[in-house]
Amino acid sequence: MKKFCFVTVGATASFHPLIQAVLEEKFLAALHRLGYSHLLIQYGKDSRSVFEECLRKYAPGSPNRHGIEIDGFDFNHAGLDKEMRLTQANPSKDLSGGCIISHAGSGSILAALRLGVPLVVVPNPTLKDNHQQELAHELQNQGYVVACNYQEIPSAIDRVEALRTQMLSWPPVPSPGPKQHRTLEQVMSDEMGFLD
Amino acid sequence: MSPYYYLGIFAIALAVSIISLLAYALSTSQNTHIPKWRPNTSPTHLLVVLGSGGHTAEMFSMLRRMKLDPSKYTYRTYIVSSGDHFSAAKAVEFETLYLARTAPAPAKDATVAASYTIVTVPRARRVHQSYLTAPFSTLQSFWACLLVLRGLHPDQKPLPPQMISPYPDVVLTNGPATAVCVILAARILRLYHLLVSLVPSTTHIHTPTSVPPGSARPTVVSAKYQLRTIFVESWARVTTLSLSGMLLLPFADRFLVQWPTLGGKQAWKGMRKTEYVGAIVD
C-alpha cells in the first residue's frame, strides 16, 4: 500500500524554508518510520532550483532517502484537488491514509479540511501581516490541525497520527443550544426583506 | 475682530455640523432594519464582489455552503478586477456547474445563460503601482463601480425586463480592495436618493407601504430598500480586521465575522456591531 505525504506552498508567495525542511534527511527518516512511501511537493513557480538543489543530496537508491519516493511540481492551475486526494485512504487505489503539509493560506487549509485528511499547517514567517499564525494556532486549539514552525516538522509528523484518530469533521456542526448564529442565508434574506 | 475670524468660526461650525450630520445619518441607517416587504417570488438582483485568489475561493465556498437559491436570487452580477482571470473563471464555473444544476429543469438553457453577468472594473491599485498615482486609479475604479451599480457599465447586458430598477438589491462582498469602492458607491447612491426624497416637490409620489404585485414602482421608493450592503470578514481573520474591513466598518449594513474575538466591534459608539456567525465557509 502507498502512503502519501503531500506538501504545498500555494501559488502566491514562495516558501523556501518549508521546501528545504521537508527534504532534510531527518524528515525523510521520520516519514519512513511512520510507513510513508511517497513525498509529493508542490514547490511554487520560482522554487524549482531550490527543490532540485535539495534533491541532489539523494541519488536514486541512496540510503539517505529511506526508500521514500520523492516527486515535485511547480503549480497546477486546475487546483490541487487531485494531488490532495492521493493522501486520502482509498483501498481500491491501493492508498492508505497519508497527510498534507501546507502553508497557512486559507484556501489550502479549507481544501484539506474538506477532504478530512490530517493537516500540518506551517505559517510562512516571511509574510509581513502575519494573521496566518493566529489562524493556524486557533485551528490547532480546536482540534482541526497540527500547527508548527518549519523547524519542527519532523516532530509534528508524529502528532499527525494522533490527530488522525480523533479528527473533527468539517464544516463544524452547529452545537445545539439556545444561542444559534444567523446563517448567511438568513442575513441576506433579512436585507432583501423577504416575507417568510 | 476681523471678518476672517467670523468666517473661520462659520467654516468650522459648518464642517462640524456636516460631519455630525453624516455620522448621524450613518448610524441611523445602520440601525434601521428592513421590514419584510418582498414577496418570495419577486425578481431580485444580487451583486457579488470578487477579489484575488483567496477572497474569491472563500466567496464561492460561502455561496455553496448557503446553497444559494437561483430561484430566489434570480439575477446575479459579479464584479472582478481587471486581469483577474481566475475569479472570472470561478464565477462561470459556479454559474454553469453549480447553479445550473440546482436550477429547476425547464429554466435551464435559456434563462440561466441570461441570469448573470460578469463585469470587469479597473484595479484600485495595481501591484508595484506608485502611491502617487494610486488616488487617480482608485477614483477610476470607484467611477466604474458607480456605473455598475446604476446598470450603465459597458460590460453589462440589459437587465431582465421584470427588473424595474437598475440597482442591485443586495451587495455581498468579503473584502478585496474593490469592495471598498463598491460599498462606498452604494452608500453614496443611497444618500443621493435620501436627499432627493427630502426635497419637497409638487410631483412627489405618495409612498405606498405595500406594492401590489406587478405594478411599476417608482425608483425613488424602491431605492430605499435597495443597495443593501453585506460585508463578510475573511475566515482567515481571527483576531484583527482586514484593512478593507476597518474601512468599511461604518459603512456596511451588515458586518459578519467568523471568529468570536471579532464579534461586537463597532466603528464608534451607537453604530451597529459586527455579528459573529461562526464559520460560514465550507
Q: What are phi and psi of B113, to 5 degrees?
A: -60, -35
CATH of A2-192, one of 3.40.50.2000, 3.40.30.10, 4.10.320.10, 3.90.76.10: 3.40.50.2000
pLDDT higher than 90, residue B167: yes
Find the CB nearest B53 among A11, A132, A190: A11
Find the CB nearest B238 among A105, A131, A193: A131
- Residue spans per domain, chain A: 2-192
Using H for helix, E for strand and C for coil, what is the string for A60-98? CCCHHHCCCEEEEECCCCCCCHHHHHCCCCEHHHCEEEE
pLDDT higher than 60, residue B109: no
- Residue spans per domain, chain B: 38-201+211-239
CATH of B38-201+211-239, one of 2.60.40, 1.20.120, 3.40.50, 1.10.20: 3.40.50
pLDDT tens per residue across span A54-63: 998 888 778 8
Residue B156, all three cell numbers? 453589462
* Highest-pLDDT range among A9-13, A156-160, B107-111: A156-160
Residue A60, chain B, CB below 8 Å: the answer is no
Find the CB nearest B228 among A171, A184, A191: A191
* Highest-pLDDT range among A4-13, B3-12, B189-198, B256-265: B256-265
Residue A107, chain B, CB below 8 Å: the answer is yes
Distance CA(B14)–CA(A22), nearest Å, equals 64
For residue A15, the SS3 value is: coil
pLDDT (mean) for B140-151: 94
Residue A9, chain B, CB below 8 Å: the answer is no
Neighbours of B166 (CB within 10 A): 17
The ipTM value here is: 0.85
Q: What is the pLDDT of residue B168?
A: 95
Distance CA(A16)–CA(B150), nearest Å, equals 47
Residue B190, all three cell numbers? 443611497
Interface test with A, best of B34, B58, B167 (most A CBs within 10 A): B34
pLDDT tens per residue across span B66-77: 999 998 999 999
Residue A13, chain B, CB below 8 Å: the answer is no
